[in-house]
């Protein structure tokens, strides 16, 4: 598998819920979203927090809406992303440390889907 | 099914562990030494960046109009207070950074002249909230101590760093008028709004009188002493021991102690009665200040007082009862008393939750506004002006 296709596989193939890859994918998604709202300049609207309108042209409601979006995405980026990455690392280390037999019972990504399908 | 449950449990456990590791560490990303915010000598990097943004506002009329208009939609007072805090900051900066004195003095003069022009041209209501027009001031002709005190302190601060003869009669006239009204008032309480008096405005006005005494050789020490004695007796919340923030002209309390104005009151008191100021700071630090997971913040009201959020407190974040207004102003209190731990923790919160934005060496906080940033600049620069008054040095 070429490096590029491995990356595509890691990033876009849907992972098992709460697996290490799932957590990392969520971290990447939040980071991407944060990059978007940051580049779009939503940060400028957060003046609404002290009662100052973000933009006279856009008005109170739209300014407040953009501010709320920015604040939620920012908090997710600063608080949640590191937690997701750390949790993925903990899961990976855990799966590598426990014996193989138990490892399969804890359901690594590659086997778990079949287990789920079998009920 | 069992394997799916195990995986989810493992994932949740990992998330909980990760949160336990990350949350106590988060503040390390934002915490800097207190000296990054305010230095004993010279200007801190943050003060320089904040100042650069404000100096730009006063050389770019379009940018200034844009910022001021956004604030005036909510509160005309902010336009005025942003000017006051900036002039007081520039006075301290002139003493901290003499090499830039010409630029700072020029900016102070521009702000003062424009403010006086607007006051004369548009009347005092231009810088007051609309409800000032809804009732008559009890004392006629109407005066707002809010405007008179801050303008007097602007003029006095400018003259303290370098004499400007044109401002001498302006300061004397303003101070004499305030003193005359104090003498005529039975309770020594002056209105800022109709039948609404503010502790903040009284303390700032008394600071201006003290500076004027030093500049022009007058002596109002008895007036200041009597006023402080009255305030300690009648304007202190008995439960917390903190000064209340607003009251009627007959002394009836309106609001209890409020962080959004109390931290500045404490700073003002340092010039008038240092022991009382320290006592108030220690009480405020205990009743209003808090540090959680390394982040500093402040409540608007002490535990024993139930208040309602308003334009001064800003929104109150539930759970922790964090007031944006009080937390920002707490930096002034912490700087005044060199409370390094609280100052560094407050500055960490500022960088975490006030959304700093830097452009070409100019810093602004997006969750703040011009008056908020000017108050932060004041917190980062205060000290030398008060010290000059306390040591009795002349301009």
Q: How far is CA B104 from the centre of its chain?
A: 20
The CA-to-CA distance between both ends of chain B, in Å, stands at 81
Residues B205 and B218: beta-carbon distance below 8 Å: no
Which residues are within 8 A (CB) of B219 and not within 5 positions of it... i.e. 6 or more apart? B213
Distance in Å, alpha carbon of A114 to nearest chain B alpha carbon: 10
Which residues are within 8 A (CB) of B25 and not within 5 positions of it... i.e. 6 or more apart? none
CB contacts of B17 in chain A (<8 Å) are 86-87, 90
Residues B52 and B60: beta-carbon distance below 8 Å: no
Which of the four pLDDT bands, split at 50, 70 and 90, describes residue A100? Answer: low
Distance in Å, alpha carbon of B16 to nearest chain A alpha carbon: 8
* pLDDT for A6: 62
DSSP tag of B325: H
Residues B211 and B224: beta-carbon distance below 8 Å: no
pLDDT over 80 (residue B82):
yes
CB pairs under 8 A between A and B: 116
Beta bridge partners of residue B322, listed in sequence order: B317
CB contacts of B23 in chain A (<8 Å) are 79
Interface of B with A in 267-326 (CB under 8 A): 311, 314-315, 324-325
pLDDT, one tens digit per residue, over B111-151 is 999 999 999 999 999 999 999 999 999 999 999 999 999 99
pLDDT, one tens digit per residue, over B202-211 is 999 999 999 9
Kindly determine whether residue A86 and residue B71, on different chains, have CB atoms separated by under 8 Å: no
Kindly determine whether residue A107 and residue B372, on different chains, have CB atoms separated by under 8 Å: no
Of B113, B80, B92, give the one whose Cα is nearest residue B50: B92
Interface of B with A in 322-351 (CB under 8 A): 324-325
Distance in Å, alpha carbon of B259 to nearest chain A alpha carbon: 15
Q: Is the minimum CB–CB distance between A74 and chain B shorter than 8 Å?
A: yes
CA distances from B215 to B98, B300, B363, B393 (A): 20, 36, 34, 9
B177 is written with which tokens? 């008028």
Which of the four pLDDT bands, split at 50, 70 and 90, describes residue B53? Answer: very high
pLDDT over 50 (residue A117):
no
Residue of B nearest to A53 (CA): B70
């Amino acid at each position: 598998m070429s490096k590029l296709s491995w990356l595509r596989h890691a990033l876009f193939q849907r992972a098992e819920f709460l697996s290490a890859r799932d957590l990392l994918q969520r971290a990447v998604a939040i980071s991407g979203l944060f990059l978007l709202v940051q580049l779009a300049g939503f940060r400028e609207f957060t003046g609404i927090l002290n009662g100052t309108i973000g933009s006279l042209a856009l008005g109170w409601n739209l300014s407040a809406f953009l501010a709320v979006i920015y604040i939620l995405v920012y908090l997710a980026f600063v608080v949640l992303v590191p937690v997701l990455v750390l949790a993925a690392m903990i899961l990976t280390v855990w799966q590598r440390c426990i014996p193989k037999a138990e490892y399969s019972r804890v359901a690594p990504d590659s086997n778990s889907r079949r287990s789920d399908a079998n009920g | 099914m069992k394997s799916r449950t195990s995986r989810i449990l493992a994932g949740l456990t990992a998330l909980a562990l990760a949160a336990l590791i990350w949350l106590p560490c988060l503040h390390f990303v934002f915490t800097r030494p207190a000296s990054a915010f305010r230095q004993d000598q010279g200007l801190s990097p943050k003060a320089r960046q904040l100042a650069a943004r404000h100096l730009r506002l006063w050389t770019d009329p379009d940018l200034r109009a844009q910022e001021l208009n956004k604030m005036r939609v909510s509160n005309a007072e902010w336009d005025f207070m942003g000017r006051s805090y900036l002039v007081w900051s520039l006075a301290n900066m002139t003493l901290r950074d003499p090499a830039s004195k010409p630029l700072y003095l020029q900016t102070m003069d521009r702000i003062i002249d424009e403010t006086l022009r607007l006051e004369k041209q548009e009347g005092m209501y231009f810088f007051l909230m609309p409800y000032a027009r809804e009732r008559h001031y009890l004392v006629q002709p109407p005066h707002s101590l809010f405007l008179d005190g801050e303008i007097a302190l602007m003029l006095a601060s400018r003259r303290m760093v370098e004499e400007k003869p044109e401002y001498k009669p302006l300061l004397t006239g303003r101070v004499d008028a305030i003193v005359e009204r104090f003498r005529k008032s039975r309770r020594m309480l002056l209105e800022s709004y109709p039948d609404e008096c503010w502790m903040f405005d009284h303390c700032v006005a008394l600071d201006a009188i003290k500076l004027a005494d030093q500049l022009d050789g007058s002596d109002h020490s008895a007036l200041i002493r009597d006023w402080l004695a009255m305030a300690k007796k009648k304007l202190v919340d008995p439960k917390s021991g903190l000064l209340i923030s607003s009251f009627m002209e007959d002394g009836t309390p309106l609001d209890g102690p409020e962080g959004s104005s109390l931290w500045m009151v404490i700073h003002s008191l340092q010039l008038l009665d240092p022991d009382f100021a320290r006592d108030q700071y220690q009480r405020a630090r205990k009743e209003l200040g808090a540090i959680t997971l390394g982040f500093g913040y402040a409540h608007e009201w002490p535990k024993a007082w139930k208040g309602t959020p308003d334009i001064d407190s800003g929104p109150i974040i539930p759970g922790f009862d964090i007031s944006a207004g009080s937390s920002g102003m707490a930096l002034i209190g912490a700087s005044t008393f060199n409370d390094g731990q609280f100052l560094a923790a407050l500055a960490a919160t500022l960088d975490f939750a006030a959304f700093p934005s830097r452009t070409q060496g100019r810093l602004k906080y997006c969750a703040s506004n011009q008056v908020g940033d000017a108050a932060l600049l004041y917190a980062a620069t205060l000290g030398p002006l008060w010290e000059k008054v306390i040591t009795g040095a002349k301009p």
